[in-house]
Structure formats: structure tokens, C-alpha cells
């Protein structure tokens, strides 16, 4: 049995109001004791491995509501195992894979199959089921059955259910069983072949642009339909200033609407795109500086409560192409905490405690799971990080099969040193890094 005494670290546990020096005793997969000082000679401590966390921060493990694991069907891009290992390396202890695999996760049997495949993975994997069969936008799936089988949300991610009547029926079905709906907001008729944000940069590179309206009209529609259905709505990868404004309006009306932003959308704007290269291509695209600033302020003002990655691995060959040809998507699991810490905490938008709320506490609430807290008795999913020394992101060291990131070579703070899931070490920088 693994028993650990983590000593001398600074615990950030916002769910329990803790931001200070604490020693933590872990045994049997659980948090046993959290005290300002626990001595090895204390009677509750026996047969432990001591972990020196002096100068380090300890946080509840991160919960990423939006990842793509590509299994079944696209194992050359990522498998459940490689995606889960990437999560562990990023301090992410729970991940929710989107259903756009081949075949699509669109039935209770497919949800069970995914959970079977996920057995033995180093992190917790909680699937998301599709809204329509095959994500074809025609027939609504068995939402109650998928929930029963273990799905924590439904989503058509990769696209929107464009038929508003059909989508409303799905929202009613979801409301009936208390299933949150995760919306990828993109009007497929307005996209019009766009591959990057519409603006000066798209003109300069001579590439077709994606306007903000592509996202904003569906954000507005989905909020209005969720209000009518009385359903819990979570807006994926918000990238525009007006998305944030619409979420604020929904909150003012007391609606059950939450929103996420991805690290790339608060870190980089389209004017930092240096060339026509697939590594800068994702959906929604990198937006204008004005949008980036609005998103950072929406995080600061708690209009946007969740940070998720939209980890979207693709092969190097696929991503080496022009933006006209490369698939949409960049990886994110191994860089999310460092980007959040560097851009938002060091940038003065959030405290570290608020960042942990957005990466752990709040996402756990969206899907109603008992995570994001290190109270005594809770499952020991936690992470130890070094926020003092900077390092340079090196995508060749990623354990994800996907190396597609625009952040290779970027200097950041916030290296994950150890990740624990169920009280076991699933990633250790000291032994797993080289």
C-alpha cells in the first residue's frame, strides 16, 4: 500500500479556504490528515514515504472537461493511454474525452466500451456522449442511457447541432435527467471555409477568415434554448469578447450557464501568427488582441469559470501543412497549468487560488463529481508544482502523440513535479522526464 507524507509544501486548496504551509498524509488512496505540521514520529504516521515539498505548491489535481483522445478510430493521433499519460504529466487527474471518435461515442454500449478501454489508465476518464447518432445532426441519442452507463455530459463537439428544433429536443431530454450539455458554438453556414480569425492577419496571409459572428450567434442561440429547456449549459472554448458578454447576461438572469476558455485563447492573439502553418490552426481560431484581453478580464471577473484545454492531437504530417489543409486543433494537456500560471497569475489577472478554482474546483462542479478538494477523507488526486523556476516548453518531450503546439520554445513558470491519482504517483518529473 502506498503511504506518503508530503512535507513542507504550500497547499492551495480553495474549496476548503486553505492557502498556506501544510503537511499532508496520504494512505489507502485518500487524504488522511492535513495539518500545519505532521511529524514522522506522530502516532498516525507509520511506514510512510516522505516527500520533500519545501518551496513547492500542492494543489488538487486538475479536471479537464474538454479533451480529444482519438480512440477508437484515430489511434495514430492519440490513444486513451497516451492521452492519459499526457494528462498525468500536466497535473490533470481527471479528463473528459469528447465523443468525436470513429465510431462516435453515441450509445450506452459505446460509453461502456470507452470505460472498459480506459481501465488501467493513470488518470480518471469520464466520457462525454454525442447529442445525435454519429454526430450527424438527425436523430437524438439515448441521453438517459448514456448517463446510466457513465457519461458525465453530452456534446456534439467539433460542430454545433445546427437544427435548432432538434437541439432544443435534446436539451429537454438532457434537462430531464440532469445531464449538462457542452456546446461547441459554430454556425456552419457562416464559417464559409475560414481557417483562421478574420482580420488584418488573415488578409496579410491571404487566408479565408472566421468572423466572431460564427461563434457569437450560436452562443446566443444556445443560451436562449437552454433557458427554454431549463437545462444546464456549458459553453466550450469561448474565444470572443461577445461570448463573454453573453455569458455575463445569462448569469444576470440566473441561468445555469457556465463557460470555459482554453489556454491558447488567453495566451496568444492572431497578430502573433508568424506564418501560414498548421500549428496555428484550431477551432475556434486565435482571435484579436481585443478578444484575448476580454477573455482574461472575463476570467478575472469570474464570468468565465472554467479553463479546459481542448487537447486536440494530430500527427506531425497533418499539422505540417498550410492552414488551408491542416486539421483544426492543438495539444494542451502538458502545458495548461504553466500557461495559466504564467499568463494569468504572473500577469496579475488571477491569484493562484483562483486559477486552481478554474482548473479543478469549478470544472468538478460542472459535472457534479467529488473532486477539487483535499479535505481529509477525500480521494488523493493532487499535484505538486514548482512555480519559482522558469523552463522552456519542449514539445519533443511531450508524452502525447501530438506535438502540435504553437508554444514550443516558450518560456513559462509552473512545472508539474508530481501527480497523484487515487493516492498513487502517476507522474514524477524526477524519474519520468528524460
Residues serving a catalytic function are 310
DSSP H/E element including 113: helix 108-117
Q: Any idea what DSSP says for residue 278? A: G
Q: Which of residues 290-329 bind Zn ion (CB under 5 A)?
A: 310
- Is 312 among the residues that bind ligand DOR (CB under 6 A)? yes
- Is 197 among the residues that bind ligand DOR (CB under 6 A)? no
Smaller CB distance to Zn ion: residue 13 or 310? 310
d(CA 218, CA 215): 6
**Interface with ligand DOR: number of residues (CB under 6 A):** 12
Report the nearest approach of ligand DOR to the CB of residue 162 (Å): 14
| CA 74 from centre of chain | 20
Which residues lie below 8 Å from residue 119, measured CB to CB, with a gap of 6+?
A: none
Smaller CB distance to ligand DOR: residue 215 or 357? 215
Which residues lie below 8 Å from residue 321, measured CB to CB, with a gap of 6+?
A: 278
Only one of the segments 103-111, 208-216, 246-254, 322-330 lies at the binding site for ligand DOR (rule: CB under 6 A); that segment is 322-330
- List Cα–Cα distances, 417 to 32, 63, 375, in angstroms: 22, 17, 22
The separation between the first and the last C-alpha atoms of the chain, rounded to the nearest angstrom, is: 27
Which residues lie below 8 Å from residue 239, measured CB to CB, with a gap of 6+?
A: 215, 261, 262, 265, 284, 285, 286, 287, 291, 295
Smaller CB distance to ligand DOR: residue 23 or 106? 106
Closest CA to 132 of 112, 152, 109, 162: 162
Only one of the segments 31-39, 211-219, 321-329, 342-350 lies at the binding site for ligand DOR (rule: CB under 6 A); that segment is 321-329
Report the nearest approach of Zn ion to the CB of residue 326 (Å): 16
Report the nearest approach of ligand DOR to the CB of residue 161 (Å): 14
Q: Residue 332 binds which entry of Zn ion, ligand DOR, none, with Cβ cut-offs from 5 to 8 Å by kind?
A: none
Using CB atoms, what's the residue nearest to ligand DOR? 329
Which residue matches cell numbers 501527480? 419
Q: Which three cell numbers stand for residue 148?
A: 446510466
Only one of the segments 2-10, 109-117, 298-306, 324-332 lies at the binding site for ligand DOR (rule: CB under 6 A); that segment is 324-332
Q: Assess contact for 79 and 69: CB atoms under 8 A.
A: yes
Smaller CB distance to ligand DOR: residue 184 or 201? 184
Report the nearest approach of ligand DOR to the CB of residue 322 (Å): 16
Chosen residue from 79, 100, 400, 405 binding ligand DOR by CB under 6 A: 100
Smaller CB distance to Zn ion: residue 26 or 174? 174
Sheet of strand 153-155, all strands in order from the earlier edge strand to the far edge? 128-129, 153-155, 181-183, 233-235, 257-261, 306-307
d(CA 176, CA 189): 30
Chosen residue from 9, 60, 127, 158 binding ligand DOR by CB under 6 A: 158
Q: Residue 282 binds which entry of ligand DOR, Zn ion, none, with Cβ cut-offs from 5 to 8 Å by kind?
A: ligand DOR
Q: Which of residues 338-397 bind ligand DOR (CB under 6 A)?
A: none
- Is 282 among the residues that bind ligand DOR (CB under 6 A)? yes
Chosen residue from 7, 10, 22, 68 binding ligand DOR by CB under 6 A: 68
d(CA 404, CA 407): 9
- Is 184 among the residues that bind Zn ion (CB under 5 A)? yes
Strands 57-60 and 196-197: unpaired
Smaller CB distance to ligand DOR: residue 124 or 160? 160
Residue 142's CB is within 10 A of a number of other CB atoms, namely: 17
Q: Residue 329 binds which entry of Zn ion, ligand DOR, none, with Cβ cut-offs from 5 to 8 Å by kind?
A: ligand DOR
Chosen residue from 328, 353, 376, 424 binding ligand DOR by CB under 6 A: 328
Smaller CB distance to Zn ion: residue 22 or 311? 311
Smaller CB distance to ligand DOR: residue 258 or 373? 258
Which residues lie below 8 Å from residue 246, measured CB to CB, with a gap of 6+?
A: 216, 219, 220, 223
- Is 329 among the residues that bind ligand DOR (CB under 6 A)? yes
What pairs with residue 63 in β-bridges? 94
Q: Which residues bind Zn ion (CB under 5 A)?
A: 157, 184, 310
* Contacts with ligand DOR, residue ranges (CB under 6 A): 68, 100, 157-158, 184, 282-283, 310, 312, 327-329
Amino acid at each position: 500500500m502506498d503511504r506518503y507524507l508530503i512535507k513542507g509544501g504550500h497547499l492551495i486548496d480553495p474549496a476548503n479556504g486553505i492557502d498556506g504551509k501544510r503537511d499532508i498524509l496520504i494512505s489507502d488512496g485518500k487524504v488522511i490528515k492535513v495539518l500545519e505540521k505532521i511529524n514522522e514520529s506522530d502516532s498516525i504516521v507509520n511506514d510512510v514515504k516522505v516527500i520533500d515539498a519545501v518551496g513547492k505548491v500542492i494543489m488538487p489535481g486538475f479536471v479537464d472537461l474538454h479533451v480529444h483522445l482519438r480512440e477508437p478510430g484515430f489511434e495514430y493521433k492519440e490513444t486513451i493511454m497516451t492521452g492519459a499519460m499526457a494528462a498525468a504529466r500536466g497535473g490533470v487527474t481527471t479528463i473528459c474525452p469528447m465523443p468525436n471518435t470513429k465510431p462516435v461515442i453515441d450509445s450506452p454500449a459505446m460509453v461502456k466500451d470507452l470505460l472498459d478501454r480506459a481501465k488501467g489508465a493513470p488518470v480518471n476518464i469520464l466520457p462525454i456522449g454525442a447529442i445525435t447518432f454519429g454526430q450527424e445532426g438527425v436523430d437524438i441519442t439515448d441521453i438517459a442511457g448514456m448517463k446510466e452507463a457513465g457519461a458525465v455530459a453530452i456534446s456534439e463537439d467539433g460542430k454545433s447541432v445546427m437544427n435548432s428544433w432538434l437541439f432544443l429536443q435534446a436539451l429537454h431530454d438532457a434537462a430531464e435527467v440532469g445531464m449538462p450539455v457542452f456546446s461547441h458554438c459554430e454556425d456552419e453556414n457562416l464559417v464559409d471555409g475560414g481557417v483562421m480569425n478574420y482580420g488584418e492577419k488573415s488578409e496579410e496571409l491571404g487566408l479565408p477568415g472566421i468572423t466572431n459572428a460564427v461563434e457569437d450567434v450560436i452562443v446566443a442561440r444556445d443560451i436562449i434554448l437552454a433557458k427554454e429547456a431549463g437545462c444546464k449549459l456549458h459553453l466550450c472554448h469561448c474565444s470572443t469578447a461577445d461570448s463573454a458578454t453573453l455569458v455575463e447576461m445569462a448569469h444576470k438572469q440566473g441561468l445555469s450557464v457556465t463557460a470555459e476558455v482554453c489556454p491558447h485563447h488567453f495566451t496568444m492573439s492572431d497578430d502573433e501568427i508568424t506564418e501560414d502553418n498548421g500549428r496555428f490552426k484550431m477551432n475556434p481560431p486565435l482571435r484579436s488582441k481585443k478578444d484575448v484581453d476580454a477573455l482574461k478580464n472575463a476570467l478575472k471577473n469570474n464570468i468565465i469559470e472554467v479553463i479546459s484545454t481542448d487537447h486536440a492531437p494530430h500527427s506531425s504530417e497533418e499539422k505540417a501543412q498550410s492552414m488551408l489543409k491542416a486539421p483544426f486543433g492543438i495539444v494542451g494537456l502538458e502545458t495548461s497549468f504553466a500557461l495559466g500560471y504564467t499568463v494569468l497569475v504572473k500577469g496579475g489577472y488571477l491569484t493562484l487560488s483562483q486559477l486552481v478554482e478554474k482548473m479543478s474546483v469549478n470544472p468538478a462542479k460542472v459535472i457534479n463529481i467529488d473532486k477539487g478538494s483535499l479535505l481529509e477523507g477525500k480521494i488523493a488526486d493532487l499535484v505538486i508544482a514548482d512555480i519559482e523556476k522558469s523552463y522552456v516548453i519542449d514539445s519533443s518531450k511531450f508524452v502525447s502523440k501530438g506535438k502540435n503546439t504553437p508554444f514550443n520554445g516558450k518560456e513559462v513558470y509552473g512545472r508539474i513535479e508530481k501527480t497523484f491519482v487515487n493516492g498513487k504517483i502517476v507522474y514524477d518529473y524526477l524519474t519520468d522526464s528524460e
